[in-house]
Amino acid sequence: MAEPTAAHRFYNDLASWWPLVSPPDEYTEEAAFAATVLNSAQRDVREVLELGSGGGHNAVHLKKHFTLTLVDLSPHMLDVSRALNPELEHVQGDMRTVRLDRDYDAVFVHDAVDYMLTEDDLAQAIATTFVHCRPGGVAVFVPDHTVETFAESTEHGGEDGGDGRGARFLGWTWDPDPADTWVRTDYVFLLRSPDGSTESVHESHDTGLFGRDVWFRLLSDAGFEPMILTEQVADDDHAPRDIFLGHRPTA
């Protein structure tokens, strides 16, 4: 996940810890499912744009199937991704406003879309995918929650690196106000340096929460033909997610 605000240290000065907090191997199964969905376009899918590509942990799997261009708001997360995916093109940009003056067979937006906190934010991100999607192509969005699927939850993870570092985290997602369009995840990160010293970091991340009807309306308004799928990932700690597809008409 990426597409941060400036206040999120974990996507900025602490970005180098991301591979230990959310290891690339944990993305294998969901990236395989995403590849299947991306190939549902009405055209052959070879070139894919990923918006909010973060540390490149989806890309390391998807690049086996597609030629990828990776866009993220955080230059620090792009540096992490370049180390993992040096052969791929990386571009700094905001998914709401970036314009690359070229198009792709498909556009992929993983859970970085969660940082769209208002309907206007989400509409802008969807418009960006439409602009970059070729006729017959598809845009795929993977929000962590919709209004219909949301439930308060906790998560934990992290691992040790080969350089003496280690990271662990606890996340608690809850809804401070069910009347608005966002929820909050409070994270506690415990980071161990090679010298054995540890640092604890607390961050609150606010993320958007929209109903299926909103997703369908905004996709339609942008010019897409909307669809919804349920994520098929057998070995996953979270509940099945709603996957939203926007098929761009061929004419």
Looking up residue 174, the CATH number of its domain turns out to be 2.20.25.110
In a domain, 222, yes or no: yes
Q: Quote the pLDDT of residue 231.
A: 87
In a domain, 4, yes or no: no
In a domain, 2, yes or no: no
Q: How far is CA 235 from the centre of its chain?
A: 19
Q: Quote the pLDDT of residue 238.
A: 64
Q: Quote the pLDDT of residue 243.
A: 97
Beta pairing partners, 169: 157, 189
In a domain, 3, yes or no: no
Give the confidence band of 224 by pLDDT, cuts at 50, 70, 90. very high
Number of domains present in the structure of the chain: 2
Q: Are residues 14 and 77 in the same domain?
A: yes
Q: Are residues 82 and 186 in the same domain?
A: no
Residues 73, 79, 83, 85, Cα dihedral to 10°: 20
Q: Are residues 130 and 218 in the same domain?
A: yes
Nearest one of 79, 148, 73 to 113, comparing CA atoms: 73
In a domain, 30, yes or no: yes
Q: Are residues 87 and 103 in the same domain?
A: yes
Q: Are residues 115 and 237 in the same domain?
A: yes
Give pLDDT tens digits for 17-47: 999 999 999 999 999 999 999 999 999 999 9
% of the chain with per-residue pLDDT over 70: 95
Rounded CA separation 140/209 (Å): 17
Q: Are residues 141 and 220 in the same domain?
A: yes
Rounded CA separation 1/44 (Å): 27
Q: Are residues 127 and 237 in the same domain?
A: yes
Q: Are residues 59 and 77 in the same domain?
A: yes
Give pLDDT tens digits for 136-163: 999 999 999 999 999 999 999 999 998 9
Rounded CA separation 250/245 (Å): 15
User: Domain containing 221: what range?
Assistant: 9-147+210-247
The model's pTM? 0.94
Q: How far is CA 204 from the centre of its chain?
A: 17
Give pLDDT tens digits for 65-115: 999 999 999 999 999 999 999 999 999 999 999 999 999 999 999 999 999
Q: Are residues 94 and 64 in the same domain?
A: yes
Does pLDDT of 5 surpass 80?
no
Q: Quote the pLDDT of residue 189.
A: 97
Is residue 164 left, alpha or beta, with left meaning phi > 0 and alpha meaning psi from -120 to 50? left
For range 229-251, the mean pLDDT: 83
Rounded CA separation 175/179 (Å): 9
Q: Quote the pLDDT of residue 6.
A: 54
